[in-house]
Structure 1
Amino acid sequence: MTQTFFNEMFERGEFDARGTTAAALMRSGEPRAHYREYFEWMSGEAGQQTQKKRAEVDAIFRRSGITFAVYGEKDQTGAGTERTIPFDVIPRVIQAQEWSKLERGLRQRVSALNRFIHDIYHKQEIIKHGIVPAAQIFSNAQYRPVMQGVNVARDTYAHIAGIDVVRAGEGEFYVLEDNLRVPSGVSYMLENRKMMMRLFPDLFVRNRVAAVAHYPDLLLESLRSAAPAGADNPTVVLLTPGIYNSAYFEHAFLAQQMGIVLVEGQDLFVENDYLYMRTTQGPHRVDVIYRRVDDDFLDPLTFRPDSTLGVAGLMNVYRKGNVTLCNAVGTGVADDKSIYPYVPEMVRFYLGEEPLLNNVPTWICRKPDDLAYVLDHLPELVVKETHGAGGYGMLIGPASTSAEIEAFRLALVANPDKYIAQPTLSLSTCPTWVESGIAPRHIDLRPFVLSGKDVRMVPGGLTRVALREGSLVVNSSQGGGTKDTWVLER
């Protein structure tokens, strides 16, 4: 592992000037300052041991239960197949000043989104001013009429937000999408850091990497600050759908890290307009639920009557202000992909500021002119379902067959309201260890923004990497992996 190796990769065009070079290498092939310590370490004897240590990662993750379920694949019991997310030992490194700018933009964006959700369920000023069309709200599958006029603690709806950002063009960050309902992945951010520190402790002596281990403390503080008035020592629980949920490891992990009880719907009950948890010492009042259950399953008396995951009567307690749900019911109206194009205007409308982070240019297919453009340029575009997630329901035009493009064309013509389209960005890449050696792979970043008494973040996030050559899809369900994200303190 030498600098010559990286130079050769650059000369072969495996690192492009706007992508990986912006992150790791200069055009000369020399590492940028914030990657220099890592590449020097890799060029020494320590780097020679990396290949052996890579083999330890999967075994350690599986032994620790760090897995996710793939619903489309079944094991012998009929449950989703358990997988570990591939972990790459080459970190993604971000400079301190770069992170500072990104953090300011994320705080601004999430503040505006919280203002938007509150407005939608109260005065609806943004609709009255003609900034967001009423149809985009009231026909949205995530709009919850039951929340109209309901006041929530601190007017905060998205207590935990996972904002997906990518670097493109000349190295600037763009927001790809906002995840405000039940965003996942933070446990992998924390476990990735623990894994790197376990395998390569000397790297953290050579590099001043900002800590992320205090995230569970910040999360618990944010949850407690959202407690109903009068709850001086609030009881917080984490509500999970159960062990068969794909993110169950994260649910159990975060509950353990925060020192709170992990509960299922059957562990809770409503009495006299309050929520209680069954314990061996008798009923115990619950003040805050960090819920990892979708809206539709929270209360069979309000939403799906066939749900066994929630608590009968929970919404009545919530509306009366006797329990706080984090994130709030109805928050999904703001992370729908058809609402995403309006977020920059939300920043201007609610905060009176110019957005610090740009959206990816977006065509809204319900608009006839936008639809016509998209249909004419399908082989060049990325088309997404407005309610899609996990990398499903997408067309990546340049990587698709003619048959796939034509199938999407028919779907667009039949249901244009269900889709948006975006240009295929020249996403940044990062050196990644794959079977053939070290090669560039496309990455994104999901920082986590906590809103409560204050808007807070840890310096870092979950870097996801598309392990297949040329792929732009980083989701774990689609074969993606993860990296540790280093924000340097100097």
Structure 2
Amino acid sequence: MDTQSKFFDEMFGGADTPRSPYSRYFDWFESEDPKELRKKSLEAEAFFRRIGITFNVYGQKGADERLIPFDIVPRIISAREWQRLEKGIEQRVRAINAFLHDIYHRQEIVRAGRLPQALIARNVAFEPKMIGVNPPGGVYTHIVGTDLVRTGEDEFYVLEDNARTPSGVSYMLENRETMLQMFPELFTKLKVRPVSSYPQSLRRSLSDCAPPAFDGDKPVIAVLTPGIHNSAYFEHAFLADQMGAELVEAHDLRIIDGRVAMRTTRGFTPIDVIYRRIDDEYLDPLNFKPDSMLGVPGILDVYKSGGITIANAPGTGIADDKALYSYMPDIVEFYTGEKAILQNVPTWRCSEPDSLKYVLDNLADLVVKEVHGSGGYGMLVGPAASKRELARFEKKLRARPGAYIAQPTLALSTVPIMTKKGLAPRHVDLRPFVLVSPQKVRITPGGLTRVALKEGSLVVNSSQGGGTKDTWVLGD
């Protein structure tokens, strides 16, 4: 494989010998029969297909359900590297939670001139109905997925924050289970920190955020899903099962005596905590989208009166806003009094005339994203775009500049994947999963590594043809 690439190779680091975190794995890999390893890849695919780890793709006729490709070469992170990431992630998540409380109360950050009022007031993700509301335990962001990219030995950047309804944790857990089954000997050779406690930690964190109305010994927790046709339904069902919670849809719920209750064989039972996997606008047809069939009429009123905990809290989606992202270093410093440990990717806000001019002049070299976009849709990767695509996107930018931000095309690190010809480098990102309770911030050691399986591609999203890897964080 080419180890002289301009991209940082996490296994080889540009040298002929493996980097320290990979040294013992590489020794094992070199001793293995390549044919047997390729056979293991096929076994992994069969395993994922057998247990139904698929996702749905909307708007593509004949391709509504797909298997997410899984690569058997793990991504390995040293204890030292993870320790720094862990500190930076916790700092950022605590700042986001403080920021959300502030903007729905006194808006001190706006008063201090550190954030434009318009960025809040005109933001479609800002929820006025949450003004003055104090969520149980003071927690807005119970579950967070922080997307990270790497460009060098000690160069990690936050690509985006996912504080609304982050997905992918089930793939992290199943990836590890698959690797444990196929390569048990590796886990005896290397001190790989476990991830299997995530469902129990999730339940503990949600229980710690029980609402004022709760007066029992064990809170009743439910996962609210849009239903079987949702792209992440497998994950909803998986997490409910793993943490011993109920899986419910809107038609299973009703408001009784100021509580949200679910239908059971013995009648209706009150729920204390709802881990909702539907967006704000569909959550409550009486308060948000009137024609929503996915939500529960009146649930927001029960929430505001202290009758239930909703995780994540309504209105947290503003923290995912990509225009707001560009202010995150200021937000971290404002609420923690410290400089951000993890840096942002440099960002141009196209709503600003000077930035827009720069972006338009350098469109072929930049990545342009919709402020409220996700899943890799609605974005332009300038270096990979045709002249026609660039011209089309230029028209979009001129028509609605405030809807976009732009960033440089980063030299994303690579991790090898298994191919028919052997190891080949592919670009990756990382989504660690964070659980927040009033007492503690828990960060699972590892997370979901997404990999762009197409050679040269920088787009890792599963909906755009990406795959996943198991992420190993080594112990001390």
2:115 to 132, 141, 145: 132
Say which SS state the counterpart of residue 161 (structure 1) adopts.
Answer: strand
Q: Mapping of 1:313-462 within 5 angstroms?
A: 313-452=298-437, 453-462=439-448
8 Å CA contact 2:141, 2:316 repeated in 1: yes
Deviation at 1:184, TM superposition (A): 0.0
- After superposition, the C-alpha distances for 1:110-136 in whole angstroms (9 at most, x for unaligned) are 000000011111111111111111111
Q: Report the counterpart of residue 178 of structure 1 in structure 2.
A: 161
The residue aligned with 1:3 is none
> Is 1:69 aligned to 2:52, yes or no?
no
Partners of 2:132 and 2:335 in 1: CA distance: 19
What amino acid maps onto 1:334 in structure 2?
A
Match of 2:20? 33
Contact 1:67 1:84 survives alignment (8 Å): yes
- The superposition leaves residues 46-90 of structure 1 with CA deviations (integer Å, 9 ceiling, x where unpaired) of 554111111112211111011000112234xxxx62111000000
Match 1:481 to one of 463, 467, 471: 467
Distance in structure 2 (CA, Å) of the matches to 1:133 and 1:176: 22
Give a deviation string over 1:330-380, Cα, whole Å, max 9, x none: 000111101101111111111111110000000000011110110110011
Corresponding position of 2:456: 470
Query: Which residue identity does 2:202 align to in structure 1?
Result: L
**Any unmatched runs of 5+ in structure 1?**
1-5
Q: 1: CA distance between counterparts of 2:403 and 2:258?
A: 39
Give the whole-Å Cα distance in 2 for the aligned partners of 1:275 and 1:435.
54
Task: Write the deviation string for residues 194-228 of structure 1: whole angstroms up to 9, x where unpaired.
Answer: 01111111111111100000000111011111111
Name the aligned partner's letter for residue 59 of structure 1: A
Q: 1:230: Cα distance to partner?
A: 5.1
State the shift of 1:434 in Å: 3.1
Distance verdict in 2 for CA 1:264–1:327, change over 3 Å: same
Secondary structure of the residue aligned to 2:391 is: helix
Match of residue 8 from structure 2: 19
- Determine if contact 2:144/2:163 at 8 Å carries over to the other structure: yes
Preserved CA contact (<8 Å) 1:42 1:48: no
Residue 106 of structure 2 is matched in structure 1 by 123
**Distance verdict in 2 for CA 1:259–1:46, change over 3 Å:** farther
Answer yes or no: is 1:208 the counterpart of 2:177: no
1:181/1:397 CA distance change after superposition, 3 Å: same
What letter corresponds to residue 333 of structure 1 in structure 2? I
Structure 2 residues not aligned, in runs of 5+ = none
Normalising by structure 1, report the TM-score: 0.95
Is this contact kept in 1: 2:449–2:469, CA < 8 A?
yes
**Counterpart position of 1:161:** 144
Q: Counterparts of 1:136-147 in structure 2 under 5 Å?
A: 136-147=119-130
The number of aligned residues is 473
Percent identity reads 56
- What is the rounded CA distance, in whole Å, between the counterparts of 2:297 and 2:446 in structure 1? 38
Larger displacement relative to structure 2 (169-178 or 112-121): 169-178
Aligned partner of 1:58 in structure 2 is 45
Match of 1:105 among 67, 88, 92: 88
Retained in 2: the 8 A contact 1:434–1:467? Answer: no
Question: Contact 1:41–1:47 at 8 Å: present in 2 too?
Answer: no
1:421 alignment partner AA? A
Contact 1:144 1:330 (8 Å CA) reproduced: yes
2:278 aligned partner, one-letter code: V
Write the letter of the residue equivalent to 2:452. Answer: A
427 and 45 in structure 1: CA distance in 2 versus 1, 3 angstrom threshold: closer
In the alignment, is the contact (CA less than 8 A) between 1:151 and 1:321 conserved in 2?
Answer: no
TM-score, structure 2 as length reference: 0.97
Is residue 280 of structure 1 aligned with residue 269 of structure 2? Answer: no
Over the aligned positions, Cα root-mean-square deviation in angstroms equals: 1.2
